[in-house]
Amino acid sequence: MSKIKSLADLKKMSSEFKSKVDLREKGDTIDKLVQIKVAMATCGIASGAKEVMDFFIDELDKNGISGVVTQTGCMGYCYAEPTIEVTVPGKDPIVFGYVNIDKAREILDKYIKNGELVEGIIPVNYETVDK
């Protein structure tokens, strides 16, 4: 890792990373890539988010689905932990709550593979300040 020596350096890096984050380090295959974010704060982990994350990592691989599973902080839906956000190519991100392993399998089989929505959607009800 090299040091950031100036504000210009930082800005350059920022825009580089921006595209990287968007592409989840998978180059230009974004269109075919399923992104899953697992809320892994204390509340999530305590409700089993770790197992869910492991499940998706294993299962995407087994099913030959090109995707990336990342951890993230608390989304605020603590009543419905574990929560995950799934972005299927070409669609808006959808947040699912109460995701145990069974639910995770249902999300994988129905939504990710077939585009069929499953119960447990949590409507996102906040606005995030960008930048």
Task: Name which position in 26, 80, 100, 109 contacts other proteins (CB under 8 A).
Answer: 80
Q: Does 57 bind other proteins (CB under 8 A)?
A: no
Task: Name which position in 49, 59, 97, 99 contacts other proteins (CB under 8 A).
Answer: 97
Cis peptide before 82 (omega within 30 of 0): yes
Name residues whose C-beta falls within 8 Å of residue 53's C-beta, 6 or more positions apart in sequence.
38, 40, 69, 71
Task: Name which position in 28, 31, 62, 92 contacts other proteins (CB under 8 A).
Answer: 92
Instruction: Specify which residues 17 forms β-bridges with.
Output: none
Q: Does 37 bind other proteins (CB under 8 A)?
A: yes
Q: Does 72 bind other proteins (CB under 8 A)?
A: yes
Angle at 40 between CA 62 and CA 15, to 5 degrees: 85
Q: Does 9 bind other proteins (CB under 8 A)?
A: yes
Q: DSSP string spanning 29-77?
A: -GGG-EEEEEE-SHHHHHTTHHHHHHHHHHHHHHTT--EEEEEE---S-
Q: Does 101 bind other proteins (CB under 8 A)?
A: no
Q: Does 7 bind other proteins (CB under 8 A)?
A: yes
| Footprint on this chain of other proteins (rule: CB under 8 A) | 1, 3-7, 9-11, 13-14, 17-18, 20-21, 37, 39-43, 45, 70-80, 85, 91-92, 97, 113-123, 125-131
